[in-house]
Amino acid sequence: MKLERNDTLLMIGDSITDFGRKRPVGEGLHEGVGTGYPMYVRAFLESMYPELNVHVINMGTSGDNIRALKSRWKTDVFDLRPDWVSVMIGVNDVWRQFDQPGIPESHVYLPEFESTLDEQVTSTLPRVKGMILMTPYYMEPCREDRMRAVVDTYGAAVKRVAEKRGALFVDTQAAFDKLFEHMHSSNVAWDRVHPNYTGHMLLARALLRALEFDFNKEL
């Protein structure tokens, strides 16, 4: 287990991370961290590693792309002084290219996405114990689907940055692909992006596995 006693784990991203978290800082009792995968991460940590007293913060913001993430990085990451930072971003960078084709200013293309992510990771790593980079995903098993194909290139960019900078890497698309060998994506997300509790549990487990969480641990 990579987390240590009294560590703060901050998760940042778009609506998939946000999921109703408290403002201005997503922390505290009940649904302070929202009702998505950060909630499950906190529940796993508190129920199986209570001795670590890990502080979980959710700073996801619905609608964000990598540009928006960069604009709030100081207040929403640096100023909160986390020990670990998990980042999942990219689906809106791609999605706007498909649902807003006539508004090019809302599009974030791959070179900008990768260079901006690399910049944020490079500036953050000296300040924290570690970072976890999670790929964007699209719940479409057909890899030839146009949006799925583009999302895959953004996921590959996340992997390149993680490998180059020594961050932990989580392939969320691969995790969903395995799930959809057994069920249809409509059972998890009507829009192929925003998951139900099953999808959020899958994301939480994938993140925790990257942190070497022991799911067989007993109190």
Strand residue runs (E) in the chain: 8-13, 55-58, 84-88, 130-134, 168-170
Q: Does domain 8-210 have CATH number 3.40.50.1110?
A: yes
Per-residue model confidence (pLDDT) at position 219:
82
Please say if 191 is a catalytic residue: yes
24-37 tens-digit pLDDT? 999 999 889 999 99
Per-residue model confidence (pLDDT) at position 4:
98
Distance CA 173, CA 171 (A): 5
43-67 tens-digit pLDDT? 999 999 999 999 999 999 999 999 9
178-200 tens-digit pLDDT? 999 999 999 999 999 999 999 99
Catalytic option among 14, 152, 194, 200: 194
168-178 tens-digit pLDDT? 999 999 999 99
78-87 tens-digit pLDDT? 999 999 999 9
pTM exceeds 0.85: yes
Distance CA 108, CA 4 (A): 36
Distance CA 17, CA 76 (A): 14
Please say if 15 is a catalytic residue: yes
Per-residue model confidence (pLDDT) at position 30:
87
138-169 tens-digit pLDDT? 999 999 999 999 999 999 999 999 999 999 99
Q: For the chain, which residues make up each domain, given as ranges?
A: 8-210
Catalytic option among 79, 99, 191, 214: 191
**Contact at 8 Å (CB) between 120 and 161?**
no
Distance CA 31, CA 21 (A): 7
90-106 tens-digit pLDDT? 999 999 999 999 999 99
Surface-to-core class of residue 169, CB atoms within 10 Å of its CB (0-12 exposed, 13-18 middle, 19+ buried): middle
Catalytic option among 15, 62, 106, 123: 15
